Structure 1
Amino acid sequence: MRSGRLLGALAAFAIPAAVYIACAPIEPASWDSAELQGVPYILGITHPTGFPFYVLAGYVWSHALVLGSIAWRMNAMSGVAMAVASAAAYGVALEFGASAPVALLATLWFAFTQNVWVHAIRAEAQDLAVA
């Protein structure tokens, strides 16, 4: 039973993460997303509030992951953060009494809604807060 829940949580993370990373744009974005793609790499300061945790996490992520452009790395970090949120949603659904297949279906529905999708494939500071 426990291994089934773990396998479901892994699927709830891995499926969205794979799709988000595959769809993450490789080019710099505009406005806030562009700022949040570049500033963490140089360990700079973004507009107020500065998003210190995002900048520190992005610095570590963008230097540890040496694939692709800096913009793609930061977009991928947002995708991974939203995939963590999807795995958390799976756990919440199980706690509310949903069966594992229903919890996974609900999680994937959440993961691929338009509002989540838009934020998951581009660098946004709130993605880490959701995770």
Structure 2
Amino acid sequence: MRGQEAQEIILIVEDDDQHAAALAQMISYQRPYRVFHASDGPTTLKFTEHLKPDLFILDYWLPNMNGIELYERIRRRKELQDVPVIMISGLLPTQELQARGIVGLPKPYDLNDLLQKIDMLLVKQP
């Protein structure tokens, strides 16, 4: 965690704007995180030039590049190499996620499961 005053930043990368908005609202309502949305890989990479997320929630099926390709591009940037990732999709490439240490969550998912995974990745353990 950053500091007592600062809030962790979550970047949701989802091309379905309605789903992303609902997800961002649910997370913001349930947890003290700042949540932003990008709709594709290029927008995500541009966003990370200005702000460093503490967590990425990536959809697998994205325009321009899929979630794994975006993950690989993110990991090439030294300042983003340790940022945790949750990948969501109706059809997850399980072997690819396991090989990269990406937390996967199949759609449709339970909000409590998602929040638990977010907390596991963002909350500092004593």
Whose RCO is larger (CA < 8 A, sep 6+)?
1
Give the TM-score taking structure 2 as reference length.
Answer: 0.26
Give the structure with the higher percent helix: 1
**TM-score normalised over the length of structure 1:** 0.25
Whichever of the two has the greater Rg, that structure is 1
Which of the two has greater strand per residue? Answer: 2
